[in-house]
């Protein structure tokens, strides 16, 4: 079990002395390393556990998963021993979908609810989506779309060897998002903070506000500077916001020591 936990949840320690855990889900094509700085930015009382999906970084030899329900089921099956502490979920873009559906699955499977759900860079999942199928494009067409999205450095897009490794992962992740189908269920029982980029023209305030229809608790909207990938240059503000909201949510059982 220890090996499996380490592969799915980086930095996770079943016997942690932390007061809570923050599970962080990556955007399409991303790995757990996108949250590496958060381990230093958040205080030791919060154990940051980036989720490492198959097919990336230290799991690069594994086949990527192409189905959101398959990923969520696998995460839920492996996460059980780590639910011995209060926890929160964060996800950006595709990761927001994964975090939300994981929250619903943990309620069904374990009767466990996160202290807080942070969804970043993604419209509420019950809203109509564009129906575009990037995952079915040719390699050259997909690279063209990636250039438009501005999430992949040009040097990587022009590196044929790297793109041979990266494209299957990206194609699988786009398939995860583009074949997702929302299933109505009871609203989740935790607050939601929805974050967006001021220059992200695909995720506007109305799209973010609609997350409030999916929770029994309060919803907060935060707009930060930047486009769809504001996550990177606004990470210190995002981490501070997480610290503040989690401290409030867990104030009866969480002793705050100031952190970094």
In a domain, 51, yes or no: yes
Q: What is the mean pLDDT of residues 98-103?
A: 98
Containing structural domain, residue 10: 2-128+185-249
**Given 93, 120, 130, 181, the catalytic residue:** 93
What is the pTM for the complete model shown?
0.90
Look at residue 257 and tell me whether its pLDDT is greater than 60: no
Let me know if residue 175 belongs to a domain. Answer: no
Report the CATH number at residue 18. 3.40.50.1820
- Give a yes or no: residue 139 inside a domain: no
Q: How many other β-carbons are positioned within 10 Å of the β-carbon of residue 119?
A: 29
Count: domains in the chain = 1
Whole-number Å distance between alpha carbons of 185 and 18: 32
Taking a C-beta distance cutoff of 8 angstroms, is the pair 42, 89 a contact? Answer: no
93 is catalytic: yes
Say if 220 falls within a structural domain.
Answer: yes
Domain contains 148: no
pLDDT one-digit tens code per residue, 153-207: 888 888 988 888 888 899 999 999 999 999 999 999 999 999 999 999 889 999 9
131 band by pLDDT with thresholds 50, 70 and 90: low
Residue 20 lies in a domain: yes
Residue 171 lies in a domain: no
Handedness of CA 6, 51, 154, 225 (dihedral sign): negative
Asked if residue 137 belongs to a domain, the reply is no
Q: Closest Cα partner for 33 from 55, 12, 52?
A: 52
pLDDT per residue over 71-90, tens digit each? 999 999 999 999 999 999 99
């Amino acid at each position: 079990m220890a090996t499996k936990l380490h592969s799915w949840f980086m930095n996770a320690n079943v016997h942690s002395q932390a007061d809570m855990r923050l599970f962080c889900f990556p955007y399409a094509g991303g790995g757990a390393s996108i949250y590496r700085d958060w381990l230093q930015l958040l205080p030791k009382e919060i154990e940051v556990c980036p989720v490492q999906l198959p097919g990336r970084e230290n799991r690069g030899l594994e086949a990527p998963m192409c189905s959101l329900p398959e990923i969520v089921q696998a995460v839920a099956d492996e996460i059980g021993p780590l639910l011995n502490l209060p926890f929160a979920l964060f996800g950006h873009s595709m990761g927001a979908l994964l975090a939300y559906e994981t929250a619903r699955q943990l309620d069904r499977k374990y009767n466990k609810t996160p202290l807080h759900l942070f969804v970043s860079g993604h419209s509420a999942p019950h809203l109509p989506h564009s129906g575009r199928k990037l995952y079915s494009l040719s390699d050259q067409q997909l690279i063209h779309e990636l250039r438009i999205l501005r999430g992949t450095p040009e040097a990587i897009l022009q590196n044929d060897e790297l793109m041979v490794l990266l494209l299957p992962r990206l194609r699988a992740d786009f398939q995860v998002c583009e074949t997702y189908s929302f299933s109505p269920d009871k609203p989740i029982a935790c607050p939601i903070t929805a974050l967006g980029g001021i220059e992200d023209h695909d995720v506007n305030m109305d799209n973010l506000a609609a997350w409030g229809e999916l929770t029994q608790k309060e919803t907060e909207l935060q707009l930060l500077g930047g486009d769809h990938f504001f996550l990177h240059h606004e990470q210190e503000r995002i981490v501070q916001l997480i610290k503040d909201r989690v401290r409030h949510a867990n104030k009866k059982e969480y002793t705050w020591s100031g952190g970094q």
